[in-house]
Each structure stands twice: as C-alpha cells, then as structure tokens.
Structure 1
Amino acid sequence: MDLSALIAAAWEQHADDAEATARRIAEMLPQVQAAADVPPFAALLAHVYGEHLGQWPQALALLARLRGVAGEDATAQAAVLRAERTLRCASGDASALDDLSTPDRAAVLAGTAAMQLGRGQTEASAQALDAALALAEGGLPDGSPALRALAVAGNNIAAELQQHPHRSAADTALMLRAAETGLRYWSRAGGWLQVERAEHRLGSCQRAAGRHAEARDSARRCLAVCEANDAPDFERFFAHALLAVTQRDLGDEPGFSAARDAALAHHAKLPTEEQAWCQQELAELQAAASPPA
C-alpha cells in the first residue's frame, strides 16, 4: 500500500482507535520521502496526536523530523510550521503566534479552534475561531492557506456541534457561526462541490437550531448549486432530502412531497456503497412521510 493509501486508511480508522492510529503514523513517518507528501501527513499527525490524544510533545517531535523531508520546498515547510504552531497554540503556548504573518496566524487559530473543540474546550474553541475571523476581516489574499483552514475548521466545528444532543445557547451560536464560516471560505477556497456541501451543512445546522425558514433557503441554494453544475445523484439526494424536511417543518406538505419524491428518485439510482451513506436521511424522509399513529 502506498503512502497516500495509508494516509487515507488512517483517516478512516483514527476515530475508532486513535492510539493505534498514532502508532501507525509514527511507523509510517520513514515512508514520507517527498516534499509533496509532507502536508497531508502533517495534517493527519497533528489531528490525531493533538485533537484526539493531546500528546503535544510527541506530535512536535515527529513534526520536527518532517522538516528534513520538506527541505527547501516552501509549501511543505509552511505546512509543518502551521501544524507545529497549531499544536502549540492548542496546548496553551501563548507564544505560538509570535512572528507569524496575519494569514498564518488566522490559519493557526482556525486549526486551533477545531482542535480545542475536539478536546472538549468549547469556550476556547469559540474564542480561537472569533480571533481567526477577526484577522481574516482585514483581508486574505487569493490562494492563501488560511482560506482553506477557515473553511475546514468552520465545517468541522459545525458538524461536531450539530451532533451534540444537548447544546447550550452558546454552543448553538458557535455551531451556526462555524457553518457560516465554512460556506464563506469554501466559496473562496473550494469548487462547487465544497460550496454545495457547505450550504447543506449550514441548512442542517439552521434546522437543528430551529431556524426552519433559513434552513429551507439554504437547502434551496444547495439544490441550485447541484442543478447549475450537473451534480451526481448522490449530491442531489442530500439536497432534495434537506429541502423536503425543511418544507415539512414549515407545514408545506406539497413542497415536502415533491422534494421527498425527487430525493427518493435520486436514491434509487445510487450504487449500494453510496446508499450506505444515506441511511439517516432516508429514514427521516420515510418517518416524515408516515401518518401519525
């Protein structure tokens, strides 16, 4: 298995056993021999050792070994630097942001926000995200890694908080702010697919917060992106499914039925492996269509 496949497998497996994944990461490090391999490996390493395990010294020691592989490659060196500073910042090192440019500080703070939420530090996460957004308000150049860092952090924070069954008012506010951040910055850092999924995430979070009219509007924008880009059935299923349940939330039964039928039509075209990702939404559509007992 080549390195890219090993990294992908580690991402898939790390949530189930972070300790074992961390050991595999350490074992994989000698296989990182090209500068192009450094950024994805550094991101995985920082996430598992930092967000999941809080093993800050171990992570920093492994990242230090990547500097030799990065060599003079500016992209690889920058990836190692951001990973190191994010780990230091999340661990409470007040000097971690010293001597960084504004875009790099924004990127580090965005990564810190996601990492702190994963460590259960919601208030610190909110503060870090707000600090990153304040820096970004001054303007980030096109192509800046901070754009993607903000997009990824916003999406990840929103997705995590959306799953929490008992959110406080502050948690809900952070969830919505993060989802809006994801959409705003994927619009600059990604393609139509990332924008469409960010719209879906925002709509799902708005619905979770009880903002049903806003959620319906986000679902409509999500579907419009799908239609404008000839999206595959997989993406269209989720867009129609979200639109259906938001229509039902607002008491629009004809709108619900039309969107539900469209979602089911797209679902019927999906291969089995893709249908497996749709079970929750499919169950909700079927439950919403059932008459009350």
Structure 2
Amino acid sequence: MPFKTDFDAFMSECWQHHEENPEQVYAQLETALSEVEDVTQIERIFALMLHTAIGHLQCPEQFLTCLEHFDERKVAESLAFQRSIAVARYFVDGTDNMELLEEQEQRRVYALISNELSALVQLELASQWLVKAALGMTPNDAEGPLARAIAITANNLACQYEALAERTCMETSKMLEAATLALDYWKVAGGWMQEERAEYRLAMSLLKADKPQEAKVHAERCEDICQQHGSDALELFHAHDLLMQVHFHLSQKYKAKLDEEMQQHCKTSSLT
C-alpha cells in the first residue's frame, strides 16, 4: 500500500508485517520518512522504525544514523524525535541524552527501552526499566501518552514471561507484576476493550503462576466487560475460552486431592 495514497493503511500494513519481514518494512518506512511532511505522520513512522530496528533487526546504529541525518526542521518541536534519539542511543552506547526532557517524557523513554529489551527477551533488564518508568507514580499521575506507553510495555513483558518454558520464582513474580501494571494503566489509558484484554492477560499470567482461583476472578471480569459492551463475538470467544482453561486447571487441582483410586474415575473431558 503506497503511503501517499492512504497513510493509515500503509502504517497498518507495516505493523502487520514488521515481524516477518523486518528488513522490507524498515526500508519502506525509511523511504516514507524521507518524503512525508506531516509531523504526526513522521512521529508514527519513528515509532515503528525504532521498534523494528532494535527489537527485530537488532541494529540500533542504523536507526540512530537515520535520525542524526534527518532534517530536524521538519520536527523542530517534536518530542517523539528526542525520545527516539534517546532510546536509540541507549541501545548503541548505553547513554540516553534525557537531561533536556521533562519527567513524563523521561518516563516514556524508560518504557520504550523496557519494551525493546522485552522484544530482545532481556527480561530482567526490561523489568528494571519498567519499574523505573512507573516508580513513585500512580496511574492517575500519568498523562495519557505515558499511561499508554506503560500499559503497552507491561502487557508485552507479561506475554514474554508467559512464553518461557520454565520460570524461576523471581520471573513468576515479575510476570504477575507486569500483568497487574498493564491492567492498572489500561484502566486509565484505554477503553473497555483494552481493559478487558488486560483482565485476560492477568488471568493468563495467574494460570502460568499456578493460581487458577485468582485467575478465575479476572477471567470472569473479562467476560463481564465483554457482555456489558455489546457482546463482541471475538472478544467473547476468547473470554469463554479463557474461562474453560481456568476451570480445567481448577478441576485438576481438586482431582489431585483425591486418592489414586478415585482419580481413576475422574476422566478429563474430551473437550480438552
């Protein structure tokens, strides 16, 4: 999709394919960046270029060089430009150049760094930067863009912890912290669907932590939110699928309390 014809469709397509074709998408974004004039469009390109260069190509130098040669007159007042440089510099040489940014902007940089570390599966470091982004602050203290950045990063980090084949006690704790943080901040930064999906995420993390009874609370909230807002078929499918998983885990916990003979009578449903 040519960016000059429909910029929104172009960006949507780039986001859709950036994981499977990062080189191609990055090249398309770089071409678009050299030609667009609208600051809002430039900032949207920055966001995906940064993520693709660092999280998928693992080549922050390429993105930083692009920024350093970019015509700053186009984005003279753009904080997104300064944030992008700060994040890229961190991944190139460990510096961040954030001293000129206000506190909320600095926290957004921390969240962005955490998100890219998460994409690189450097989860311990990612957790540290996420904590730094939210330290000493409640969700209501965060302006909209910062709250959204923390929510997105926390959700992605929880997913990465969930994907581990095995987790230490510390990793399990960090997974639950991230999923809880995502829910807290989506309640401020998002709509009903973001909140519902954050309930889903926390329930899944609790299942991974072998806490099905606690997971049930959030799975039921997930379902309730769906039903309160028009009963979207796709969202309800995932909500009910989640509840099925929760009840399966609960059934296995109760089964384990029975003696061996009685366990033989507890046949697992063919649905599982």
Report if TM-score (shorter chain) is over 0.5. Answer: yes
Q: How many angstroms does 1:137 deviate by?
A: 4.2
Q: Is the 8 A contact 1:3 1:31 kept in 2?
A: no
CA distance in 2, matches of 1:219, 1:24: 40
TM-score with structure 2 setting the length? 0.84
1:186 counterpart = 2:166: no
Instruction: Give the SS at the match of 2:251.
Output: coil
Which residue in 1 is equivalent to 2:65? 61
1:182 and 1:138, CA in 2 relative to 1: closer, same or farther beyond 3 A? Answer: closer
Amino acid at match of 2:270: S
TM-score by length of 1: 0.78
Listed one character per residue, the Cα deviations across residues 212-248 of structure 1 (whole Å, up to 9, x for unaligned) are: 1111111011111112212311111111111122122
| CA shift for structure 1 position 67 | 3.7
User: Offset of 1:138 from its aligned partner?
Assistant: 9.3
CA distance in 2, matches of 1:195, 1:207: 18
Distance, in Å, in 2 between the alignment partners of 1:184 and 1:93 is 30
Name the aligned partner's letter for residue 55 of structure 1: C
Report how many residues are paired: 253
Equivalent residues in 2 for 1:208-287, closer than 5 Å = 208-251=208-251
**Amino acid of the residue matched to residue 69 of structure 1?**
K
Q: Provide the residue aligned with 2:85 in structure 1.
A: 84
Instruction: Determine the C-alpha separation between the residues in 2 that align with 1:224 and 1:291.
Output: 24
C-alpha distance in 1, partners of 2:139/2:241? 38
The runs of at least 4 aligned residues of structure 1 exceeding 6 Å deviation read none
What do the CA deviations read for 1:134-183 (whole angstroms, capped 9, x no partner)? 1434962443x211110110111112222222333333222211111111
User: Conserved in 2, the CA contact under 8 Å of 1:111 and 1:153?
Assistant: yes
Contact 1:34-1:70 at 8 Å conserved across structures: no
Look up the match of 1:269. none
Corresponding letter in the other structure for 2:190 = G
Equivalent residue for 1:70, pick from 70, 75, 86: 75
Deviation at 1:25, TM superposition (A): 2.1
- Inter-partner Cα distance in structure 2 for 1:66 and 1:124: 33
- 2:189, 2:198 → 1: CA distance? 12
Which of 29, 32, 35 aligns to 1:28? It is: 32
How far, CA to CA, are the matches of 1:103 and 1:214 in structure 2? Answer: 33
Does structure 2 retain, via aligned residues, the 8 Å contact 1:161–1:175? Answer: yes
**What do the CA deviations read for 1:52-90 (whole angstroms, capped 9, x no partner)?**
223222212333426433354xxxx12222222222234
Query: 1:226/1:139 Cα in 2 relative to 1: closer, same or farther (>3 Å)?
Result: closer
Counterparts in 2 of 1:119 and 1:54: CA distance versus 1, 3 Å: same
Question: Cα RMSD over matched residues?
Answer: 2.4
Partner of 1:250, secondary structure, is: helix
Q: Provide, for residues 223-277 of structure 1, a one-character-per-residue CA deviation record: whole Å limited to 9, x for no partner.
A: 111122123111111111111221221129xxxxxxxxxxxxxxxxxxxxxxxxx
Q: Aligned residue for 1:290?
A: 270
Given the superposition, is the C-alpha separation of residues 148 and 67 from structure 1 closer, same or farther in structure 2, using an over 3 Å criterion?
farther
2: distance between equivalents of 1:22 and 1:231? 38
> Does residue 125 of the first structure (1) align with residue 158 of the second (2)?
no
Select between 177-186 and 134-143 the one with higher mean Cα deviation: 134-143
Query: Aligned partner of 1:121: which letter?
Result: Q
